Amino acid sequence: MRFFIAMRIKINGEDREMDNGLTLTALLELLQIRPGRVVVERNRDIVPRDTYSATLINDGDTLEIVHFVGGG
């Protein structure tokens, strides 16, 4: 039985279904991503790290979660 209504969001180009009322902190936890090593862009706007816990993910949001990789 589901208590929350599902929402559709796009993360790094992939469609995902998530429960409503999710904060960015909770989403990263769900995805097992360490917040200290990534930068998140929501609908083209960078989300400052200190606002993750106050950032509510909305239905239809497009998220980019990036980090540093090897490069020249």
Note the residues at the interface with other proteins (CB under 8 A).
11-14, 31-34, 37-39, 41, 46, 48-49, 64-72
Give me the long-range contacts of 17-25 (CB less than 8 A, separation at least 24).
18/57, 20/59, 21/56, 22/56, 22/57, 23/52, 23/53, 23/54, 23/55, 23/56, 23/57, 24/51, 24/52, 24/53, 24/55, 24/56, 24/57, 25/52, 25/53, 25/55
Q: Which C-beta is closer to other proteins: that of 21 or that of 48? A: 48
CB of 16 to other proteins, least distance (A): 8
Q: Which C-beta is closer to other proteins: that of 3 or that of 14? A: 14
CB of 1 to other proteins, least distance (A): 27
Q: Which C-beta is closer to other proteins: that of 6 or that of 30? A: 30
